[in-house]
Structure 1
Amino acid sequence: MDRRLGPAPPHRRPKPKPQSCPDWDSDGVDRISGLPDHLIEEILRRLRCARSAARISLLSRRWRHLGLLWRGYPELSFRGVEAEALPAALAQVARPELSLLDIDTHPMTSFKVAGIASLLRTAARLAPVELVVSAKLNEVLGRSIPFELQLPCFHRAKSITLELKYYNLNLRVTGGEFPVLERLFLVNCDVRISDLISRAPRLRSLQASHDQLALYTGYIMVHSTTLEELLLDRWDLFGGIDIVAPALKTFTLSADMVSNQSRITLTTATVEHLSWTCIFRTNQLIHGVWSLSNLKLKNEQDAYVLSLCLNDIIDTHTMEQPRNLQEIVQLPIVSVLELDLDKWRREVHVYGPLLLNLLGMEMFADIKRLKLVYSRHVDVKLDKACPSNCTCGQPQNWRSQSISLMALEVVEIEDFIGKGDEVDFLKLLFRSAPMMKRVTVKPCSHAVPSFRACKEICNIFREHPSVKCYSYDSYGKKVLYPHSTYAARCRGR
């Protein structure tokens, strides 16, 4: 034997065959038929799946008749049924109204849009209280004009789930209302939400998601006094979003904004669970050379946390006029601002005027914590000064200005080199925030601060003894500033 193959596997004894049991149907005797009718009916009723009930009806002679009782049950599930067989199966339903209609077709079968439309019309005639439809479409992908699907009204439905796999449809709501609808879950369906909400006066939960990003040219408008949960996942929006929902408790949004005129508005009381992620495909020029590329919003302990990612990628000569951030997004008062400035060009731009512009907005009037990260994607050695007339430095008198940041208590700045404009912005913050409690400045790991910069930073910290000022030592440990690399450089170490 080749030793590389290892030792031979241990000899395994064959498993013993089970002994015959006197209760088994090995003698061909139909013992199932001896069960009482009410017990057989209860078994079939608990199956809930019409397909399984039909199968079981083949087990015994008496079950063949009782197996048809599923047609009169109030809760019916059709799972794994072929698309071609589904219309005939639904035609056998004997009840005019159902409590549950659950349809999940066989994964190897698919519908055309006309087939889905016919299926929904049949389901509407059965008037279920809860409707679940999961099906795969086989229409040609990549059409420039999406298919349209009419959603009939379900006057008894409290919950509707419509999951269409592998293709996006424009869902249109026909005449009538959904008077008792409380929950609606849509997958790969683009619907004019404002029309839908106006027809569902009791709607409490709306979830609409996509398997892949799909362009929706409309404007999402949600004005509802009853809506408590809203989930919009993987939307590709050409328009904007307008949310006015005072009862909203949970709001999740994931969207790509594809127009430079997109706008997001949120008017609601404090949401218990909030999570937004918006990517701007066409970078929105905010101030100077800085463009908005990403926005995230969440809540922590009843406080809104806004994260903005801005970059200097776009050539400002090809851009339209800058847009004020409040023209792009209107939010309740934000308590925490996390700002990530992505530097991709060799030119080193000033960010003080940008921050002065942002922090002066109404949404940041009560800001308590500010975090600024200056992410460099170009080697510091390749940096060069931007032109003297660059728009990033406007207004030119920004260094002497101040803003009211009465609630600001905590400031964190990362990748701090200590250039003149950075030090000037640090002075502006101390001057504008009299209630400051803690400041942390993390030096850039790719550049050594000058002696002059270290001295200015230490002087600023020394002038504000009531503020705990932190930086980092030569080992990368966060320490109070007297033990930091700035102080060590000032002492000539």
Structure 2
Amino acid sequence: METRSARRRRLSAQGGVGGGLDLIGGLHDDLLLQILGRLRCAAAAARTSALCRRWRGSGLWRHLPELSFRGIAHGAIEAALAQVALLKLSLLDIEITDRLPAEAVASLLRAAARLDPADLSIVVAWVVQTDEMVPIEVPSFPRATSITLRLHKLHLALPAQGVEFPVLERLSVTSGRFDTGALISRCPHLRVLELIHCWGIETITVHSPTIEELLVISGQLRGVDIVAPMLKKFTLRSDVSVDFGMSLLAPEVENLSWKCWSHGQFLLPGESLAVGIDGIWRLVRLELGTGRSGFILGLDIGRSYCVLQERNLQEMFPFPKLSILELCLDTRGHVYGGVVLNLLRICNAIQRLKLVINRDMWKDEVCPPDCPCDQPQNWRSQNISLMGLEVVEIKNFKGSGHEVDFLKLLFRCAPLTKVTVKLAPKVVPNSRGCKNVLKVFRGNPSADCHVYLKRGNEVIYRPASRCSRR
């Protein structure tokens, strides 16, 4: 049996311990490249190269198909890219946390284009651009199927006229400025597009026969123009201006997720121009999502104290056929029946209605004579067709005269089967408001009706005929 000292002498003679070659260094180059490739990060691969003598100075990492540079100075990355021997990379991933001038970013893009990667990701935390009007040209990447660019506040320009991104399927741009329509026209096979806080773009234009997924996150938009016959998923997160409008031609879309806010446009000190939707009411938030039973629309609406520019929601948003409407109203004590009735005209195919009244005893106001909140004055006697509406839930119900009138209107216009009312604080079972609700329920015995106190104790009313059937 070979002793430990004999084994050490043998390995030394072979170069494994203190000799010319070590055991790892004796491996074939292809196998060594596979080991380095599993490290992914070029810096880690370079450090690993220092472990064996044959790797030192050989720069085997220069032949790796996938390179990732993170936490490395810009100058070192440029020098490393100049040494790369493989000119058709599978992956090039660069992340720089330092401030870089725009000219350095342009040089980095050109160096990346020389390596012609199939998957490119360049992230620069902060770009210093002396003249925002001078764009930086994005070179062509003919092999790229995926490109991710996060270039803080950088104005980007497309390559020379006619140059395309022929196989690009996925594009994600964060904090850049560019012509979205012109870029998309250069991408004949684009399927996924992400535009995240792209500055200086007021209207997003997406006309593409191939796009299937679209994500837009923006500070404020004036418009969205989409013509995409293959679009399946559209996600939007943005403030919207008072003149916002959306055109959506996407017959195959099945997953919509919109979250839009209207904070108002500044006019004079203390004034703003908000999106008014009906009299004194302004749009605060709009959220559209996809649920099990179909599309769900959520609206936050509040009493406005600023200048309003009244808009029709249908002019701003092309709503799909809705199944559920969820309204959150900050009424400040005002009558809400008229505004909700007008919204139900827009959403007249819904099956469920959830109405939440924000109650704050310190904010409630006294309506002046002829307050516009009670317009039109004949809303109580109007009739609309809500033939799909079966389930209604109302929270923070006080039982005021106009609230009871609205409840009666719902029973008159819709074939309700279940109604749940959760009373506002301080409303007790023997109060006038609660008695008025129960009176309405007794007049509509076909519906399964429930009343809850604010603290959760249930006040149950069931018609005698319903109980006898059970």
Question: TM-score, normalization: structure 2?
Answer: 0.84
Partner of 2:318: 330
Partner of 2:76: 85
Partner of 1:28: 18
**Amino acid in structure 1 at the alignment position of 2:154:** L
Distance of aligned partners of 1:462 and 1:118 in 2 relative to their CA distance in 1, 3 Å threshold: same
Q: Deviations over 1:428-451 (max 9, x none)?
A: 111111x21111111111445885
Partner of 1:428: 409
Looking at structure 1, the residues matched to 70 and 344 of structure 2 have their Cα atoms a distance apart, in angstroms, of 56
**Amino acid in structure 1 at the alignment position of 2:54:** R
Distance of aligned partners of 1:47 and 1:453 in 2 relative to their CA distance in 1, 3 Å threshold: closer
**Amino acid in structure 1 at the alignment position of 2:444:** H
Contact 2:65 2:91 in 1 (8 A): yes
**1:305 aligned onto 2:324:** no
Partner of 2:112: 123
Looking at structure 1, the residues matched to 37 and 311 of structure 2 have their Cα atoms a distance apart, in angstroms, of 62
Pick the aligned partner of 2:187 from 183, 194, 200.
200
Distance of aligned partners of 1:477 and 1:241 in 2 relative to their CA distance in 1, 3 Å threshold: farther
Looking at structure 2, the residues matched to 203 and 122 of structure 1 have their Cα atoms a distance apart, in angstroms, of 24
Distance of aligned partners of 1:51 and 1:476 in 2 relative to their CA distance in 1, 3 Å threshold: closer
Partner of 1:247: 230
Partner of 1:392: 373
**1:340 aligned onto 2:332:** no
**1:366 aligned onto 2:349:** yes
**1:58 aligned onto 2:50:** yes
Matches within 5 A, 1:90-101: 90-101=81-92
Partner of 2:281: 290
**Amino acid in structure 1 at the alignment position of 2:103:** A
Q: Deviations over 1:257-280 (max 9, x none)?
A: 2x2111234443465544321111
SS at match of 2:358: strand
Q: Deviations over 1:347-392 (max 9, x none)?
A: x32111111211112xx1311111111102343xx74431222222
Matches within 5 A, 1:90-239: 90-105=81-96, 107=97, 109-139=98-128, 148-164=135-151, 167-174=152-159, 175=161, 176-210=163-197, 216-233=200-217, 235-239=218-222
**1:480 aligned onto 2:460:** yes
Distance of aligned partners of 1:137 and 1:270 in 2 relative to their CA distance in 1, 3 Å threshold: same
SS at match of 1:236: strand
Q: When the two structures are aligned, how many residues end up with a matched partner?
A: 440
Contact 1:216 1:236 in 2 (8 A): no
Which residues of structure 1 form unaligned runs of 5+? 1-20, 484-493
SS at match of 1:103: strand
Looking at structure 2, the residues matched to 110 and 366 of structure 1 have their Cα atoms a distance apart, in angstroms, of 53
Alpha-carbon distance, 1:27 to partner: 5.8
Distance of aligned partners of 1:358 and 1:45 in 2 relative to their CA distance in 1, 3 Å threshold: closer
Contact 2:150 2:175 in 1 (8 A): yes
Distance of aligned partners of 1:482 and 1:36 in 2 relative to their CA distance in 1, 3 Å threshold: closer
Q: Deviations over 1:44-99 (max 9, x none)?
A: 4544544344334434442235x334434433333433201222222223334332
Looking at structure 1, the residues matched to 364 and 64 of structure 2 have their Cα atoms a distance apart, in angstroms, of 75
Contact 1:215 1:237 in 2 (8 A): no
Contact 2:260 2:285 in 1 (8 A): yes
Distance of aligned partners of 1:474 and 1:333 in 2 relative to their CA distance in 1, 3 Å threshold: closer
Distance of aligned partners of 1:64 and 1:475 in 2 relative to their CA distance in 1, 3 Å threshold: closer
Contact 1:280 1:292 in 2 (8 A): yes
Looking at structure 2, the residues matched to 183 and 448 of structure 1 have their Cα atoms a distance apart, in angstroms, of 58
Q: Deviations over 1:303-328 (max 9, x none)?
A: 1111100111324xx333x2112122
Looking at structure 1, the residues matched to 462 and 133 of structure 2 have their Cα atoms a distance apart, in angstroms, of 64
**Amino acid in structure 2 at the alignment position of 1:472:** Y
Alpha-carbon distance, 1:337 to partner: 0.6
Looking at structure 2, the residues matched to 253 and 191 of structure 1 have their Cα atoms a distance apart, in angstroms, of 19
**1:275 aligned onto 2:257:** yes
**Amino acid in structure 1 at the alignment position of 2:203:** Y
**Amino acid in structure 2 at the alignment position of 1:329:** F
Contact 2:429 2:435 in 1 (8 A): no
Looking at structure 2, the residues matched to 456 and 40 of structure 1 have their Cα atoms a distance apart, in angstroms, of 82
**What is the Cα-based RMSD across aligned positions, in Å?**
3.0
**Amino acid in structure 2 at the alignment position of 1:68:** G
SS at match of 1:308: strand
**Amino acid in structure 2 at the alignment position of 1:303:** G
Looking at structure 1, the residues matched to 359 and 131 of structure 2 have their Cα atoms a distance apart, in angstroms, of 40
Which residues of structure 2 form unaligned runs of 5+? 1-6, 265-273, 464-470
Alpha-carbon distance, 1:400 to partner: 1.0
Return 144-153 or 183-192, whichever deviates more.
144-153
Distance of aligned partners of 1:265 and 1:334 in 2 relative to their CA distance in 1, 3 Å threshold: farther
**Amino acid in structure 2 at the alignment position of 1:64:** R
Q: Deviations over 1:437-466 (max 9, x none)?
A: 111111111445885544432232112211
SS at match of 1:261: strand
Q: Deviations over 1:277-310 (max 9, x none)?
A: 1111113111011100111111101511111001
Looking at structure 2, the residues matched to 54 and 156 of structure 1 have their Cα atoms a distance apart, in angstroms, of 26
Alpha-carbon distance, 1:145 to partner: 5.1
Distance of aligned partners of 1:413 and 1:99 in 2 relative to their CA distance in 1, 3 Å threshold: same
Question: TM-score, normalization: structure 1?
Answer: 0.80
Distance of aligned partners of 1:198 and 1:459 in 2 relative to their CA distance in 1, 3 Å threshold: same
Contact 2:122 2:150 in 1 (8 A): yes
